[in-house]
Amino acid sequence: MTAFIAIFTFPLLVAASSLLVRDLRLIRSIAGIGGLAHASAAIWVGIDVWRMGGHGPGIGWFSLDGLGCWILAVNGLVYAAAMGNAALLWNAPGDIHLSERGVRVLFGCGSLFILAGNAVVTASDLGALWISMEATTLVTAPLVLAHGAKSSIEAAWKYLILCGVGIAFALLGTVLLLASSAGSAPSDQGLNIAWLTSHAMSLRRPLIDTSFVFLLLGYGTKAGLFPVHNWLPDAHSESPAPASALLSGALLNCAMVALWRISDIVSRTGAHRAVTGLLAPMGALSVLAAGVMLIRQRDLKRMWAYSSIENMGLMAVAAGLQLAPVFALHALAHSLGKASAFLLSGNVVKQFGTASLAKLGGIMRRSPATGFALLAAGAAVMGAPPFGSFASEWILVSKTSMQSQWAIVIVVIAGITISFVAVLTHLGRIVFGEKQPELEVKVSPLALVPSAVLLLLSACLFFVVSPAAYEALDKLLNHGGHR
C-alpha cells in the first residue's frame, strides 16, 4: 500500500515544486530524482502484484490488477527517462526556445499527466477511468502549447477539440454501458469493471453494441487509431521532446488500456464478433495507413508520431484478438523504443537546430553517439532484432495466423514492411547522408543516458521473452484484479 501511495505522491511533489520552487536548477534535480523514485515504486508495486497472482491494493475507485501494474511500470520508466532527459538537457531555460515558464509547464504538467495516466490504468470503475482520461487531455494541452509558436497553438486547438469530441463519445459509450446494466447491477456497481466482467452475460445486447461503437471511437481517438488520428502527429511533433516521449510512450498506452478493458467486457457479453470485427481491423488499417503516411514525412518528430499510430494499430489488433501478453509486451517494447526515439530527437533538435529531415544530414560523422543511438532507436521502434518489439511483433503475427485471421495478417505485414522501409530510408539519409552546416550547440553526452538505458532495457526484453515468460505473463494478466 505504501508503494501504491508513493506512485501518486512523487509526481505530485515534482508538480508542486515546479510551481513553488524559484530555482530552476533545483526543480530539475527534484524532477530527475522524483522520476527515478516513481519508477522504482511502480516496479516495486508491480512485483508485489505479480507475487499475489494479479491482486493488488486499492483505494476507492482505484485498484491494481496485472495489466494495471504492468502499464504503471511502463509509465514509470517513460516518466523517469523524460524527466531525466529534461533535467540533463536544459542547462538554460532559453535552450531550444523554451521560456522559463515553458520549462515549469514541462515539469509540472508532465508530472500531473503521469498522475492522471496512473489513475487511468488503475481505475476499477469506468466512470473514474473516463474522468482520469479527460484529465490527461487537460494537463497535456499546455505541454503542446509550451513552445508558444503559431503551429503549437493550432496543434493545441486541434488536440483539445478532436480529443474532446472523442472523449465525449467515450462518455456517451460509458453511459450507454451503464444503461445496459440497469436493473441487474447494484446501484454503485453499474460501471465497476470487475462486476461488469463477471456479469457480462446479464447486460442488454443492443445497447452493448452501440456502447462499444462509441467507446471505440472515443478511446480510439485518444489512442490515435486510423481514421481518427488527426490530432496525434501535430500534438506529438509540436511538444518539447520529453513531453512527446510522455505522450507517445505513456498517454497512448493509457488509451489502449481503456480499449482493452472495454473489449474484455464486451467480448464476454457474447458480442465477441463486434470486438474482433471492429477493433482488430481498425488496428490493422492503422498499421497500413501509418506505413503509407510515413513515406512522405519531412520532419523527424512527425515521423516518430506516425510510427506511434502504426504501433497503436498493432496493440489494437492484439486487443481485438484478446491476446493479453502480446498487448502488454508490445506496450512495453513500443514505449521503450519510442520514448528513446523522441528524447534523441530532442537532443538532435538542440544540437542541430532543426527537426527537418531535409535539413539534417551526416549526424554519424558529426556526433557518432547520437547517430548510432538514433539508428538503434529506429530499429527498436520498427521491430528489428535485438529489441523487444521484434519479439512482440513476431508473436502477434504468429498468434494472429493461428486464429486464421488471414486478412489482418496480410494487412499488418504489409504495413510493418512499408513502415520499416520508410523509417529506415529517412533515418539512413539523416544519419549517413550529406554533411550539413556545423554543430549549433554542444550537447552533454549525459543527455544520451536516459535514451540509452531505455534501449538497453528493450534489448534485454528481446532476450527475456521465452515461452515460459509468455505463460507467466499470461497468468499475471488473465487472473485476479479486475476480473
Partner 1 sequence: MSPIHEAAGLAAMVSLWLLGITRVKSMLWGLALQGGALSMILLIHAIANNLAPEIFLGMSALLLKAVVIPLFLNWSAHRLKVDRDWGVGLAPGMAMLIGAVVLMTCYFQSARFSPLSVPSGTAGYSIAMVLIGVMIMITRRLAMGILVGFLVLDNGIFAYSVTETAGLPAVIELGVMFDLFVAVLLTGMVLFRVSRSFEHMDVSKMRELHE
Binding site for partner 1 (CB under 8 A): 61, 125, 127-128, 130-131, 134-135, 137-138, 141-142, 145, 148, 150-151, 153-158, 160-161, 164-165, 168, 171-172, 175-176, 178-180, 182-183, 187-188, 190-191, 204, 206-207, 210, 234, 238, 296, 298
- Sign of the CA dihedral 14, 257, 56, 135? positive
Please give the backbone phi and psi of residue 356, each rounded to the nearest 5 degrees, phi first: -70, 130
Q: How far is CA 156 from CA 138, 143, 231, 303, in A?
A: 10, 9, 9, 19
Give me the least distance between CB of 237 and partner 1, in Å please: 8
Please give the backbone phi and psi of residue 367, each rounded to the nearest 5 degrees, phi first: -145, 80
State which residue, 214 or 420, has the beta carbon closest to partner 1: 214
State which residue, 358 or 407, has the beta carbon closest to partner 1: 358
State which residue, 45 or 355, has the beta carbon closest to partner 1: 355
State which residue, 90 or 306, has the beta carbon closest to partner 1: 306
Give me the least distance between CB of 436 and partner 1, in Å please: 22
* Residue 50 CA from chain centroid, whole number: 22
Q: What are the contacts of 151-156 at 24+ separation with CB within 8 A?
A: 151/234, 151/238, 152/238, 154/234, 155/231, 155/234, 155/235, 155/237, 155/238, 156/235, 156/238
Distance CA 171, CA 176 (A): 9
Give me the least distance between CB of 185 and partner 1, in Å please: 9
Distance CA 283, CA 144 (A): 26
- Which residues neighbour 41 within 8 Å (Cβ) at sequence distance 6 or greater? 3, 6, 7, 10, 76
Give me the least distance between CB of 438 and partner 1, in Å please: 29
As given in the structure block, the three cell numbers for residue 293 are 503516411
Q: How far is CA 43 from CA 4, 36, 49, 212, 281, in A?
A: 10, 11, 10, 32, 33
- Which residues neighbour 75 within 8 Å (Cβ) at sequence distance 6 or greater? 42, 114, 117, 118, 121, 250, 253, 254
- Round the CA-based radius of gyration of the chain to a whole number and report it: 21
State which residue, 183 or 467, has the beta carbon closest to partner 1: 183
Give me the least distance between CB of 218 and partner 1, in Å please: 11
* Cis peptide bond N-terminal to 437, omega within 30: no
Residue from 152, 293, 181, 173 nearest 221 by CA: 173
Describe the crossing of helices 388-402 and 406-432 by its angle, rounded to 10 degrees: 160
**Under a CB-based contact definition with an 8 Å cutoff, are residues 337 and 433 in contact?**
no
Give me the least distance between CB of 221 and partner 1, in Å please: 13
As given in the structure block, the three cell numbers for residue 449 are 543516458
Q: Where do runs of H (alpha helix) occur along 181-299?
A: 193-198, 205-223, 231-238, 241-246, 252-268, 272-274, 280-295
Distance CA 75, CA 482 (A): 19
Give me the least distance between CB of 207 and partner 1, in Å please: 6
State which residue, 55 or 158, has the beta carbon closest to partner 1: 158
State which residue, 41 or 167, has the beta carbon closest to partner 1: 167
State which residue, 300 or 395, has the beta carbon closest to partner 1: 300
Give me the least distance between CB of 151 and partner 1, in Å please: 4
State which residue, 172 or 449, has the beta carbon closest to partner 1: 172
Give me the least distance between CB of 234 and partner 1, in Å please: 5
Give me the least distance between CB of 422 and partner 1, in Å please: 14
State which residue, 146 or 252, has the beta carbon closest to partner 1: 146
> DSSP for 422-468?
HHHHHHHHHHHS---SPPSS---GGGGHHHHHHHHHHHHHHHH--HH
Q: Rounded to 5 degrees, what angle do the CA atoms 236, 146, 216 make?
A: 35
State which residue, 51 or 205, has the beta carbon closest to partner 1: 205
State which residue, 80 or 145, has the beta carbon closest to partner 1: 145
Give me the least distance between CB of 115 and partner 1, in Å please: 15
Give me the least distance between CB of 418 and partner 1, in Å please: 17
